[in-house]
Amino acid sequence: MSNKPRIAVLGTGIMGQPMACNLAAAGFDTAAWNRSETRYQALTKAGVQVMSSPADAVRDRDAVVVMLSSGPVCEEILFGDFHQPAQGCQGAVHAMKPGALLIVMSSIGRNEAIDLAARSQARGLQWLDAPVSGGEKGAIEGSLSIMAGGTEDAFERATPILAAMGRPVHIGPAGTGALAKLVNQLTVATTIAAVSEAMTLAEVGGADPARVREAMLGGFAASCILEQHGQRMLERNFTPGGPSKHQLKDTRSACDAANELGLELPLLKLTDQLFSDLVDHDGGDLDHSALLLEIRRRNGLDDY
């Protein structure tokens, strides 16, 4: 009989599904729940047990991984009362056994993480806020960058679980993982904005954007954003790996954190406004590399 912890995954969307499958592939007894059933077939094929409610998924599990869309959704599913068709269900933490490990890997605000951590610990649970970077590709490959906030003990306990999904780094106490993700998202978002402007300037100025990108990849401007999202921009392939509406949620949370700390971050503010405008122009469900379309719209170019 395996000594590995039994795990539940709440939220099996673009990121959560491959993360759950990687946990099962690593030999963890894995159960999962998601509001939508669209990905259940892939989960079942990977050996993940699909459960009908969050409470059923987490009951008697040693660790619970949460990969939901936002802080409010995490709070609702973990602590609130919500209803599925013909089925009421109490928040999942009420069904977790004392001492279980709660690992919230969603991108949530710093204060949200601190609050949820305190409420979880008050119920006798161990907590980590452990958001990720690497997108759908990293989730599939099990190569995510994982930024963990919580106690040393909780991190050590979680490390074998997190290692099945990527490379975990302990940042510090509860809330610092969430803050590190906001720092990451600030960097990602502003770089996407810079690459969007660069590709537009190259094209309108008469240079081949593909060749400009190729040349840039050999110099100091090289980055994962230029490599991966620059290619998406060239192909106009905006099928979401990271939807723009989620990027906006993160830039807005980063703005909130900066305001709370008394910081003036002008690049963040401008980038947040660009993503807000993209979402307002029906780009919320497009990949965040679709910020190129907002730059083109502002310049009256013909394919925005």
**What positions carry a catalytic annotation?**
181
Q: Max alpha carbon distance in the chain (Å)?
A: 65
Sign of CA dihedral 85, 88, 89, 90: positive
Between CA 66 and CA 107 the distance in angstroms is: 10
- Rounded distance, CA 31 to CA 26, Å? 14
User: Cα(200)–Cα(263) distance, rounded to whole angstroms?
Assistant: 31
Question: What is the Cα gyration radius of the chain?
Answer: 20
Distance of CA 253 to the CA centre of its chain: 13
- Nearest 10 degrees: CA dihedral of 48, 9, 225, 298? 110
